[in-house]
C-alpha cells in the first residue's frame, strides 16, 4: 500500500516562497499523476497542479504564474514551490497520487502566511 509523507515550512512571511516535498513509499512513480491540492481554513478544496513521472505538468490557471511542481524519481519524491505568497495562500496543503482514480493522499501540511 502506497504511503505519501509530506513536509515543509509551516510559517512564512508575505512575499516568501512556499516549498513542500512529498515522499512516496511502497509504490511506483510511473503511470500516475501526482497532484498538489490545498484547503484554506474552513473552505473547500483547490487543485494546484499535477506532474507525471516524466515531468509533464499541468497547473491551475489561477496559480500558474506562481507555481512550480517538480519530480525526483531517484528519490521517489515530488515537490511544490509557490512564490510570492500572501495571507490568501494560508491553507492545508496536500499531496496525492492518482487524485481521480485512487486517491492516496499525504497527511497534509498547514502553511500559514503571516507577517
Partner 1 sequence: SSELTQDPAVSVALGRTVWITCQGDSLRSYYPTWYQQKAGQAPVLVIFGQNHRPSGIPDRFSGSSSGNTASLTITGTQAEDEADYFCVSRDSSGDHVVFGGGTKLTVL
Binding positions for partner 1, rule: CB under 8 A: 35, 37, 44-47, 50, 58-61, 94, 99-103, 105-108
Q: Smaller CB distance to partner 1: residue 16 or 46?
A: 46
Q: How far is the CB of 101 from partner 1 (least distance, A)?
A: 5
Contact 79, 72 (CB under 8 A): yes
Kindly state the smallest distance separating residue 80's Cβ from partner 1, in Å.
15
- Taking Cα atoms as reference points, which of 74, 102, 76 lies closest to residue 23? 76
CB of 29 to partner 1, least distance (A): 19
Q: State in angstroms the smallest separation of the CB of 23 from partner 1.
A: 16
- Residue 28 Cα to chain centre, angstroms: 18
Distances, alpha carbon 88 to alpha carbons 8, 13, 43, 79, in Å:
18, 12, 12, 20
Q: Which is nearer to partner 1, 29 or 36 (CB)?
A: 36
Q: Quick one: 13 or 43, whose CB is closer to partner 1?
A: 43
What is the greatest pairwise CA distance in the chain? 41
Nearer to partner 1, 30 or 101 (CB): 101
Q: Residue 75: which region, alpha, beta or left (left: phi > 0; alpha: psi -120 to 50)?
A: alpha
Amino acid at each position: 500500500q502506497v504511503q505519501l509523507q509530506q513536509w515543509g515550512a509551516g510559517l512564512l512571511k508575505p512575499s516568501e516562497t512556499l516549498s513542500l516535498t512529498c515522499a512516496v513509499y511502497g509504490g511506483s512513480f510511473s503511470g500516475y499523476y501526482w497532484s498538489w491540492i490545498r484547503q484554506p481554513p474552513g473552505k473547500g478544496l483547490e487543485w494546484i497542479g499535477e506532474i507525471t513521472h516524466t515531468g509533464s505538468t499541468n497547473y491551475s490557471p489561477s496559480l500558474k504564474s506562481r507555481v512550480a511542481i517538480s519530480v525526483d524519481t531517484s528519490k521517489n519524491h515530488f515537490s511544490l514551490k509557490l512564490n510570492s505568497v500572501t495571507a490568501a495562500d494560508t491553507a492545508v496543503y496536500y499531496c496525492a497520487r492518482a487524485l481521480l482514480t485512487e486517491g492516496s493522499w499525504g497527511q497534509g501540511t498547514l502553511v500559514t502566511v503571516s507577517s
